Amino acid sequence: MVQHQSPHAHRTHANESPWLYMLRSIATLTCALTIAGGSWYVAVDLTTASDLTAIYNCSAFFAYVFSVPLLGERIHWPKILAVAVAVGGVFIVAYGDSMSTDPATPTTPDINTLPTSHPDSAPSRGLGNLIIGVGSILYGLYEVMYKRLGCPPSGTSPGRSMIFANFVGTCIGLFTLCVLWIPLPILHFLGWEVWSPPTGEAARLLLISVFANAIFSGSFLVLISLTSPVLSSVAALLTIFLVAIIDQLLPEPMHNELSAAALLGGGVIVVAFGMLTWATFREMDEERREKAGRDEVEDSDESEGEGEGEGEEEERQRMVV
């Protein structure tokens, strides 16, 4: 069903083994996700936190761009406007405080988001922005590729789609565990990235992060499977606003005051998500009505054909008599 994007596979496909397609699809998705996510860690020491946040979250726009040729997504201006508004909200969160703050007044850095180095030089910042820009494009492509390669076709029950989405997520984790560890000892022996097991507080926080990310990733894949990559990508932008709220609940020194830019940008993202949700469900309703209309036309054609066949049979019997 997934390979041929048909809820009723042809009998000639019944003898095909799905394992090669599954392995190829999982490898493609995992590599795309790993490169896109890894670009964030490479760029974090080269550019500013504002550039990093704003550029990487433009993946919602690229998800819509790739959805048009790869998924046959229709170009709807309400959806384009909603995506643009969401990206604008991200830019408000990223740059609002720096624009409203007096340059002569020092600000308290956010230890959770600021890079560990000081990317003041223009070449370093430009290179970091280029790397995170490529990562943003790849992450949007990954979302669309997952919808195309790893999701059941339309018409599949929501329950089966949810189960299969978690199955694909599990396969991505298994591929990562079995294959993507190979560069780690090489980097360790070369001294480029020395590995050491986490201990103490770091280990506890990593376990919490892994658990939280498992819930997010599973929910994210389910949302893409049930809706679209564009809606899912904009929904993920809501985490920016949620992070700002959670910062209020954390103890010192991780506590950060909720700024006006975070409130304004978060509100804009929430509005954009509502706009996109409305546009998406309106589009789904239109497609449902068009499909119902086509079914009615096909039923009427079949009934007319049956009526004509019965009339011809009666005429033939009268001629025989």
- What is the Cα–Cα distance from 61 to 39, expressed in whole angstroms? 18
The pLDDT score that the predictor gives to residue 104 is 37
Band (99; pLDDT cuts 50, 70, 90): low
pLDDT, position 309: 56
For residue 283 the two structure tokens come to: 């589009």
- Cβ-contact 222, 158 below 8 angstroms: no
Interval 4-28: pLDDT, tens: 777 776 677 667 778 888 899 999 9
pLDDT at 108: 34
User: Lowest-confidence range among 4-13, 45-54, 161-170, 273-282?
Assistant: 4-13
Tell me what the mean pLDDT of segment 180-185 comes to: 89
Task: Burial-class residue 66 by CB neighbours within 10 Å (0-12, 13-18, 19+).
Answer: buried
CA 264 from centroid of its chain's CA atoms: 24
Sign of torsion, CA 101 106 112 115? Answer: positive
**How confident is the model over 216-252, as pLDDT tens digits?**
888 989 998 888 888 888 888 888 777 777 777 777 7
In this predicted structure, the answer to whether residue 209 has a pLDDT above a threshold of 80 is yes
- Cα separation, 297 vs 294, whole angstroms: 5
Distance CA 69, CA 60 (A): 16
In which band, very low, low, confident or very high, does the pLDDT at 263 lie, cut at 50, 70 and 90? confident
Other residues' Cβ atoms within 10 Å of the Cβ of residue 249: 8
Give the start-to-end residue ranges of the domains of the chain.
15-196+211-305
Q: Which residues, in sequence order, are CB contacts of 9 under 8 Å at separation 6+?
A: 1
CA distance 245 to 212: 17
C-alpha triplet 9, 11, 14: angle, nearest 5°: 80
State both tokens at 270. Answer: 């929430």
pLDDT of residue 306 exceeding 60: no
End-to-end CA distance of the chain: 53
Average pLDDT over residues 33-58: 84
Tell me, rounded to whole angstroms, the distance of Cα 114 from its chain centroid.
24
Three-state SS for 201? helix
Give pLDDT, residue 300: 66
Give the pLDDT mean for 268-286: 83
Model confidence at 288, in pLDDT bands (50, 70, 90)? Answer: confident
pTM above 0.85, yes or no: no
pLDDT per residue as tens digits for the range 127-136: 888 888 898 8
Rg for the chain, CA atoms, rounded: 26
